[in-house]
Structure 1
């Protein structure tokens, strides 16, 4: 772990998420499937990260810096605290961090569309079916 002059840190992608949270004194999303900072980045962007992949998770900006090893996995990352917007209107807490590559944007749109479709299907399934009066009468007799 190396602190850089701008206040960011160069860390190993294998650093446990809890250690990163302690380092920056922040709360990060809890996920039983994610143990390392590299895994946190992969989960946030929805794919295996490559050099230059970046996103914001909680209050932290994560950037995949360098790959290494036989499998060419992300080896080091740059992490910095996200600057708070000066104007509250600029803050959009409900929206995910902007995608950094066109394919990320397309995936995010597809994911949002699937989520909407699931909600609509669940709402339609929860609505009672119309029963005509004759059928209702036969059921009650």
Structure 2
């Protein structure tokens, strides 16, 4: 990291490095299966072709399934930035994910004024 650097950026990078070592290979929520090692996603038996950022966004939402995730939290944990650049980049990525989910697009719920939530399906738990 080049000097001078912002302390919040350093802390965000350290948190990101810490998360990389603590993961299990698979994350399963209902019909969603994310293979973190091979970077593949399957939903309802169909493979999803995701960009790196879409993969990170979906993984974060799935890991927090059932909980509303704020836009600020997404910026910090998916984009690893501590400030809102005032763009609609989160909205665009969510729209692209919904398009790729097709008929299951409603699994990503918009919580107006707050953020997004991955709908935890009844009777299923995060594995």
Question: Which interval holds the TM-score relative to the shorter structure?
Answer: under 0.3
Q: Which protein, 1 or 2, shows the higher relative CO under an 8 Å CA cutoff with sep ≥ 6? A: 2
TM-score of the superposition, structure 1-length normalised? Answer: 0.25
TM-score of the superposition, structure 2-length normalised? Answer: 0.27
Larger Rg: 1
